[in-house]
Amino acid sequence: MERLLDVRRLETEQLGPLDLYLQAGELVQITGASGSGKSLLLRALADLDPSSGTVRLMGRDRERIAPTDWRRQVAYVPAETAWWAETVREHFPAGWQPDQAASWLERFSLPEEALDWEIERLSSGERQRLGLLRAFLNRPRILLLDEPTANLDLENTRRIERAVRSYLAETEAGALWVSHDTLQRGRLGGRVLEIRDRRMVA
């Protein structure tokens, strides 16, 4: 079976060379001491930082995909999502589908009015849920989740875990999830990879 994401000899200034892969629908957790380069790995995969090596998405080489398309398909979601305009809907990607948004709002336990909420007044839980929802609207094939629940209470954490699970089940996308939380590690399950001394340890 063809791998959804196939990474060979990925190397940046502080990381690698390392290999990893993701199957369709799979969630893989990334752990490692702080400063070991977990975020750097995700940033390199999203092509936000320069890296060498080959990265293939469904058999297609990253270099052959325009950067804007790549990042729509390989969505990076940081621990603190960035917001720049007044209301939530202004941050949605061009061409987003209202029915899709509505369906995800419901699954994130957010009301439909949330689209018109002012960013200033969002709680951190709402920000993270909406940040993830916004990324889902691009229909990415890969989710790169950089401690998306780091600053959240358990209720919001569980909501996000469930939403990601249902996104993967529905779209056959894959996810790399960076987490510090050992309890979360148990809940999420799946393969766990550790970064140590620039390398990947299974």
Partner 1 sequence: MSVISLSALDLTLAALLVLALAGLTLWARLAVGRSLLIASVRTVLQLLLVGLVLQTLFDHAQLGWVALMAAVMLLVAGYEVMARQERRFAGIWGYGIGTATMFVSAFAVTVLALTTMVGPSPWWEPQYAIPLLGMLLGNTMTGIALGLDRLTQAVWRERRVIEGRLALGDSWLCATSTMRREAARSGLMPTINAMAAAGVVSLPGMMTGQILAGVAPVEAVKYQILIMFLIAAGTGFGALGAVWLASVRLFDHRSRLRLDRLHPGRR
Helix (H) or strand (E) holding 53: strand 52-57
What is the smallest separation between the CB atom of 156 and partner 1, expressed in angstroms?
20
The position carrying tokens 């839980």 is: 125
One residue of 33, 58, 61, 69 binding partner 1 per CB under 8 A: 69
Residue numbers 86-125 binding partner 1 by CB under 8 A: 91, 93
Regarding 141 and contact with partner 1 (CB under 8 A), the answer is: no
Choice between 97 and 183, CB closer to partner 1: 97
Token representation of residue 33: 């001491």
Choice between 92 and 117, CB closer to partner 1: 92
The order of strands in the sheet holding 199-201 is 74-77, 142-146, 174-178, 27-31, 192-196, 199-201
One residue of 135, 168, 176, 200 binding partner 1 per CB under 8 A: 135
Phi, psi (5° rounding) for residue 107? -70, -25
What is the smallest separation between the CB atom of 15 and partner 1, expressed in angstroms?
15
- Beta carbons of 48 and 70 less than 8 angstroms apart: no
- Beta carbons of 27 and 162 less than 8 angstroms apart: no
- Beta carbons of 32 and 195 less than 8 angstroms apart: yes
One residue of 12, 128, 138, 179 binding partner 1 per CB under 8 A: 138
Choose one: 62-70, 105-113, 150-158, 185-193; the region binding partner 1 (CB under 8 A): 62-70
| Interface residue list for partner 1 (CB under 8 A) | 46-50, 67-69, 71-72, 75-78, 80-84, 91, 93, 134-135, 138
